[in-house]
Chain A
Amino acid sequence: MKNNIFVLKSFSPDELQSFTGWSLGDEAVKSGAEESGFLLDTFDWLLWQAECVLFFSGSFLRLYRNGKTVSAEAVSAPKNYEDIPEGKLRELVRMNTSPRILEIKAQCAIKTDCFGIINEDGKTICRIRLSTVSINDFSCLFAELMPLKGYDREGAMVQAALEDQGGKRTLRSPIVHALRKSGLRPGAYSTSAEADCAPDAPVADVLRDILLKLLNIMEQNEAGAAEGLDSEFLHDFRVALRRSRSAFTMFKGVFPPEEHAYFRTKLSELFSRTNSARDLDVYLRKIQEYRTLLPDDMRDDLMPVEKYLARSRKKEHERIVSLLGSAEYADLKAEWRSFLSHETHTEEGRRSVRDSAAEVIKKAYGRIYKEGRDLHGESPAEEIHRVRIGCKKLRYALEFFRTIFPEKAADGVTKRLKRLQDALGAHQDYEVQREKLMYYTEEAAKRLKKPVSMSLASGYLARYLDELQKAEREKCLELIEDFVSAKTRGLINEMLK
């Protein structure tokens, strides 16, 4: 018999005693432990999503996960996983949150008492851990039944007594359960911008709604991106912006040509002004991986590149701060919001979203089909990249309009597309990383008297990246073949019929 946790409204020792005939042993009562502190998670609640809760007490950190706990010493709240001492807890936090920072989400107190249930011989036949978890103003009472080996029958009786007191079993740790019931709403931030409408709704209205959601996501990430708390704020900001641009462009005829051209240019300009900062974020992370790929005696030779990247990132961050704080950006946002809040659209904008979206999806897939089927082992990287861009557009369209089309077929297409995108993304990443590595090396070399060892290390890495890219290319071609196959075409047709 395993430990079972029950959520209780209240706990009455007398009722338990009269139900079972056994008593709560005074001798076995362990003095109640009381812990208070804070719950930590990322801006977008990544730990919550992984069914984890991270508790910081002021002297230790404890991660609750799948009914188990892992602890580590900590005198101050960690800003990110790197502040946690080496060990399992750090690794779990890294896996689920990197590269995001951790922030305080709520106050938390846990009060625990342990009782033994004693039979007529004075023998403990099971134990109960009674805990009260308080999160901000919310409180929840739990009884964890811990049966003892060889006393299953007795454990079952105590379980029945707890159920008789209104106990409801939960599979989650008390703190994980309490957090979910506490009223905190992690779903308040979501990067999703799905259409929430009937299939016959006018496409212009639906698009405006999607674009407004994306604008809100951008705004939610502005402060974090400006403060430079972690690289994901800028990343999410850019993804929302790129999706806006993509949605706006794909449905070209829906809005008047003048406005369409104006905002398309403005959104593109805004996006390109954030490119360097994002590239440097990615590269600063990559360079740590690169160190491990180099032979031992070459590992420090990339230091000048690292320093160059860090300096450049700082400058780029200043540009991001000034961009997001500028009147120009505020005006563009105001214009964009005003445009999206008014019914300014063409005749085409009155068509049903289902018909318009089906046409866009068909067109996007057709483009991938046309460009993808001609690819071969010697195709230039740009051609493969073009297919990748087409895939991104198709993916965005599928995500925006997921609720409009039959779920099974849409999920089938998305699954295949995702696999292909992963391979195409890795292929393109190697291409860009190699180019950027050479560029950053050249830039860093301008400041050095003897750049030879650094150039050698970069050259070594560039060759390595080339090898990795070749391996990825094989995979891309296989997946593209699958994606342009009759089977995938059949799924698309089924979805759009």
Chain B
Amino acid sequence: MKIMAVYSIKGGVGKTAAAVNLAYCAAQSGMRTLLWDFDPQAASTFYFRVKPKLNKSMKKAVQGKSDLEAEIKATDFENLDIIPADFSCRNMDLFLDAADKPKKAVRDMFRSVSGDYDLAIADAPPGITLLSEGIMKAADVLAVPLIPTVLSLRTCGMLLDFLKENKMKDVTTALFFSMADRRKKIHREVMDSTEFEGVKLLENHVPYSAEVEKMGLHRAPVGVFSPKSKAADAYANIWREIVNIL
């Protein structure tokens, strides 16, 4: 099973929308896909109309004592299951801190559910935490949405430095512009001039789109309620690029 983490240090960059839509694209392409909502805000879980958990299963999961398989829920779409967000996720760092090998614990959690899936997509919470570090360590691909602004570039630089400092060579980073609005001068300039040394910047980007915002209304991936929209196309194209990296 391959693991892809959708992650950004900064919040509000379209991370959950990307995780949900890329998971949908992967499942549509025939890959048996598991989306794992690590974000206690439970937005991915909400988009799939699944109820979030209120128990403390994550503590036991970190300790390797809980049956994560039992936490999995089918979505309404073929090949796509989800581990819904658990409010106990907000204390993940405490649980991991108490574990012997916190980063390995995250990898082991993924391994315990790897049998039935070709791909796991982690919707990681923002910020650099023990959990996000563990997810980055476990991942084969780190998909990073990036709003084309100076501030976003700065936090992206911080992330790349962090990866380098922590010698995370096994994970391939794939950056892509998100919520991009080419009518804005700053977006155009950043998109046209930015280059990252030694890191892949995907050719396709997610445009700023009302369709993406409507996901909350429809509680479904864009491809379901607006399959011909630019946003749906964008996620499909980004998915095609990521498949080549996986």
Contacts and interface: CB of A to CB of B under 8 A. Distances in A.
Contacts of B73: 148-151
B182 interface: no
A295 interface: no
B49 A121 contact: yes
Contact of B74 (A28, A121, A122, A150): A150
A307 to B, nearest CB: 50
A121 B72 contact: no
Interface SS of chain A: helix, strand, loop or mixed?
loop
Interface SS of chain B: helix, strand, loop or mixed?
loop
A123 interface: yes
A151 B73 CA distance: 7
A122 B81 contact: no
A122 B73 CA distance: 15
B72 A122 contact: no
A116 B50 CA distance: 15
A318 to B, nearest CB: 57
Contacts of A150: 70-74, 81
Nearest to B218: A122
A149 B81 contact: yes
B76 A116 contact: yes
B50 A149 contact: no
A123 B76 contact: yes
A124 interface: yes
Nearest to B46: A121
B23 to A, nearest CB: 15
A121 B81 contact: no
B200 interface: no
Interface residues of A, number: 10
Contacts of A116: 76
A116 B71 CA distance: 22
B240 interface: no
B76 A121 contact: no
Nearest to B224: A27
B219 interface: yes
A148 B49 contact: no
Nearest to A27: B76
Contacts of A148: 73-74
B51 interface: yes
B49 A123 contact: yes
Contact of A124 (B51, B76, B81): B76
Contacts of B72: 149-150
Interface in B77-99: 81
Identify the 8 closest CB pairs spanning chains A and B, nearest first. Answer: A150-B73, A148-B74, A123-B49, A149-B74, A124-B76, A121-B49, A122-B49, A150-B72
Given A121-B50, A148-B73, 19 more contacts: A28-B76, A121-B49, A121-B219, A122-B49, A122-B219, A123-B48, A123-B49, A123-B50, A123-B76, A148-B74, A149-B72, A149-B73, A149-B74, A149-B81, A150-B71, A150-B72, A150-B74, A150-B81, A151-B74
27 contacts: A28-B76, A116-B76, A121-B49, A121-B50, A121-B51, A121-B219, A122-B49, A122-B219, A123-B48, A123-B49, A123-B50, A123-B76, A124-B76, A148-B73, A148-B74, A149-B72, A149-B73, A149-B74, A149-B81, A150-B70, A150-B71, A150-B72, A150-B73, A150-B74, A150-B81, A151-B73, A151-B74
